[in-house]
Amino acid sequence: MPLVTINVIENVFSKEQKREMIEKVTDAMVAIEGEAMRGVTWVVVKDVKEGEWGIGGQPLGSSDVRKIQAGAA
């Protein structure tokens, strides 16, 4: 039984976006392992508090992620 954990910074993704992550990651695992695995594939989305996640030695918050998202659009 696969268990996939997705860590995200709090206040960045909506409940709907998290639901979509769970659905699409489950679909990806089923594509690899077969349809019989759908019912036993666990996906957990964990919120990490702002400032408790860092990249390049710097803490990251939701406003930083939104700036990155805006630049990628």
Q: Record the pTM.
A: 0.84
Residue 60: how many CA atoms within 13 Å on its side-chain side? 17
pLDDT tens track for 4-57? 999 999 999 999 999 999 999 999 999 999 999 999 999 999 999 999 989 899
Nearest CA to 18 out of 33, 5, 32, 1 is that of 5
Return the pLDDT at 65: 86
Beta-carbon count within 10 A of 61 CB: 16
pLDDT at 23 (0 to 100):
98
Q: Can you tell me the distance from the alpha carbon of 3 to that of 5, in angstroms, rounded to the nearest whole number?
A: 7
What pLDDT score does 47 carry? Answer: 97
Residue 66 has pLDDT above 90, yes or no: no
DSSP structure class, residue 56: T
